DNA sequence: GGTAAGATCAGC
DNA sequence: CTGATCTTACCT
């Protein structure tokens, strides 16, 4: 169950201008999925090491996505631990976007798949859980104060907030 | 064609 | 605080 997400917009001329988004500078090499139809998985490699996953959200032709930042593993704890390390405590298995992909076995090969197709190796099902809290996004140096991170309050699986050291002082970022 | 920064994480 | 080390953007 996803317990923490972050919203990312698109270019200046779109509905959600967002300098922190991969799609801010327009359609390109890695971000093409973000411009496609909603419900697809957009994966990217972070710092050369980790894979992070987004759910594409806007209509076809408009860039917008939600980064999956943390989840609670409700089934297959043993499988997730085999991927992350057997001594990893369950709440930490999918805490953080890189760890979440590791625990779920999401790789760059999954980029662009349809999350609502029963045939897909990764799928998403809506839940009744409501958003509990919001705040600024983790690690972004642009638009660092924009409260576009959402999580379920009180859940142990939610990652810790870290402001980017490269972000301007509080209040000086758009 | 070079270089630096980045939607990260684990280990000192 | 640092290193790991891929991808792109933004220079020259």
Q: Is residue A69 part of a domain?
A: yes
How many CA atoms does the CB half-sphere of A128 hold within 13 Å?
0
- This prediction's pTM: 0.96
Q: How far is the CA of A90 from the C1' of C4 (A)?
A: 25
Structural domain contains residue A160: no
Domain count of the fold of chain A = 1
How does residue A130 score in pLDDT terms, banded at 50, 70 and 90? confident
By C1' distance from the Cα of A54, the closest nucleotide is B7
| Whole-number pLDDT of residue A28 | 86
What is the SS3 assignment for A79? helix
CATH code for the domain in which residue A46 is found: 3.10.300.10
Question: Which nucleotide's C1' sits nearest to the alpha carbon of A67?
Answer: B7
Distance A162 CA to C12 C1' (A): 35
Evaluate whether residue A140 is within a structural domain. Answer: no
User: In this model, does residue A99 exceed pLDDT 80?
Assistant: yes
With a cut of 90, say whether residue A117 has pLDDT above it.
yes
Taking the C1' atom of every nucleotide in all shown strands and the CA of A22, the nearest one is B7
Report if residue A166 sits inside a domain.
Answer: no
A138 Cβ within 7 A of any nucleic strand B atom: yes
Question: pLDDT at residue A172 above 90?
Answer: no
Averaged pLDDT for residues A130-157 = 94
Rounded Cα–Cα distance for residues A51 and A99 (Å): 8
Q: Kindly state the average pLDDT of the residues A5-12.
A: 96
Residue A167 inside a domain? The answer is no
What residues make up the domain containing A68? 2-129
Is A135 among the domain residues?
Answer: no
Task: Check whether A129 has a pLDDT greater than 80.
Answer: no
- A22 domain-assigned: yes
Secondary structure letter of residue A59 according to DSSP? -
Domain membership of residue A147 (yes or no) is no
- In strand B, which positions have an atom below 7 A from any protein CB? 5-10
């Amino acid at each position: 169950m996803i317990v923490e997400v972050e919203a990312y917009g698109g270019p200046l001329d779109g509905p959600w201008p967002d300098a922190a988004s991969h799609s801010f500078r327009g359609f390109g090499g890695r971000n093409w999925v973000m411009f496609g139809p909603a419900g697809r998985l957009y994966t990217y490699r972070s710092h050369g090491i980790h894979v992070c996953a987004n759910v594409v959200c806007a209509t076809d032709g408009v860039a917008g996505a939600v980064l999956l930042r943390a989840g609670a593993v409700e089934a297959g704890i043993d499988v997730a631990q085999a991927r992350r390390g057997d001594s990893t405590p369950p709440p930490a298995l999918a805490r953080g976007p890189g760890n979440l992909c590791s625990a779920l076995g999401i790789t760059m090969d999954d980029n662009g798949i349809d999350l609502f197709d029963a045939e897909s190796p990764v799928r998403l099902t809506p839940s009744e859980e409501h958003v509990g809290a919001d705040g600024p996004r983790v690690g972004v140096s642009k638009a660092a104060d924009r409260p576009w991170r959402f999580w379920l309050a009180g859940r142990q699986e939610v990652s810790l907030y870290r402001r980017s050291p490269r972000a301007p002082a509080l209040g000086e970022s758009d």
